[in-house]
Amino acid sequence: MKRLFIVFTAFLGTYVAQAQPEFNSIITPKDGQIFKSYTLEDVTVSPGNGGANQYWDFSEITFPEESAGIQTYFFANPSNASAFPTANFIENSDEITTYYNYTSTEEVELGYYDSAEDAFPSTMVYSDPKTTFKAPFAYNETQTDDYYGSITIGEYSYIESGSNTNTYDGYGTLKTSFGTFNNVIRIKISGISNYEIQGFGTHSTTIDAYGYFIPGYTLPLFGIVEATVNGPEGETSFSAITAYDPASLTSNKNAYLQNLKLSVSPNPASDIISVDFKDLASDNYILKITEQSGAIVKENSIYAAKGESHNIDISDLKNGLYFLEVSSDKGKAVKKIVKL
């Protein structure tokens, strides 16, 4: 099951989206990025409808702070990757290290190393790698890729093969227990994975999943997965819901954008703050105020001409420290603000 969650995360990938609902390029994660997710197993929920301008409400689903349901994903530059000479990034999660090659147009999974204590440590190198995502990727488009790999573990040969299909099937607003998010893009993920171990037959896993992304975030905010495993022992099924901690996502958000010069006054403030656009180009901007946890408490989209200022009413916020983020297609700025 652990490997399946890793596979699901690989399907979701690491993407960059512009202000309009379209994925235009792929950005390699930064060395040392850490993301935390919360997972509820054996829980089923309708993914909602696909299409334009949808409203997906999962706010009644909460994720308790239980260690069994918390997963940490760590991205880093590859080391000791002799089996993967083209790898330029790795993802670590528990005992599994997955090796990737990133370009601006493709994310390719080359294989993985499994150091699980209850099995022989093994390295899977795909002779036909997984192309988990391609860019650009527009609304209603579909991507499909096949993969294959084989290794020997102890006295047994092990073959893994399968096919992945991504479909950009909807966009709109997402509401979760972590907050409400606009301009969300939904990717439908369908996959079939075949695992054949010599002397033990073949196990086939069918995956139907959905990932809900917001432009500029490195991983999805929310994911739904249902899987069915068929093997010599019969058929088993399970489902899971995963939410990524917005605090860990926003800490790495929009890393590809240049810093924008931004002036905010007064700061500290009790009622109104003024955002000065005198050093910024005329453009469409997204203004967000978040708590230290990453939860969004205010969000607005505006058009601002160079030299203008924009007021934000913060009188309804509790006293404390917040972060104001102003972003466009060309860059972003983040300022600490204090509410008195």
- Residue-wise pLDDT for 29-61, tens only, equals 666 666 778 888 888 899 999 999 999 999 999
Overall pTM > 0.85: no
Q: What's the domain range around 191?
A: 2-250
**Number of structural domains found in the chain:** 2
Three-state secondary structure call for residue 2: helix
Whether residues 266 and 158 fall in one domain: no
Whether residues 227 and 272 fall in one domain: no
Q: What per-residue confidence (pLDDT) applies to 239?
A: 92
Whether residues 61 and 202 fall in one domain: yes
Q: Quick one: 233 exposed, middle or buried, by C-beta within 10 A (0-12, 13-18, 19+)?
A: exposed
Percent of the chain topping pLDDT 90: 30
Whether residues 164 and 87 fall in one domain: yes
Q: What angle do CA 157, 208, 51 make, to 5 degrees?
A: 150
Whether residues 203 and 262 fall in one domain: no
Three-state secondary structure call for residue 145: strand
| Domain end among 195, 219, 250 | 250
For residue 262, give both structure tokens.
């931004």
Q: What is the CATH number of the domain that holds 265?
A: 2.60.40.3080
Whether residues 114 and 185 fall in one domain: yes
| Domain end among 224, 250, 276 | 250
Whether residues 176 and 276 fall in one domain: no
Q: Quick one: 82 exposed, middle or buried, by C-beta within 10 A (0-12, 13-18, 19+)?
A: exposed
Whether residues 132 and 194 fall in one domain: yes
pLDDT digits (tens, 9 = 90+) for 59-89: 999 887 655 567 766 677 776 678 899 998 8
Whether residues 280 and 134 fall in one domain: no
Q: Cα-flanking dihedrals φ and ψ of residue 99, to 5°?
A: -105, 135
| Domain end among 250, 282, 298 | 250
Whether residues 129 and 272 fall in one domain: no
pLDDT digits (tens, 9 = 90+) for 126-183: 999 999 888 888 899 999 999 999 987 777 788 999 999 999 999 998 998 888 888 8
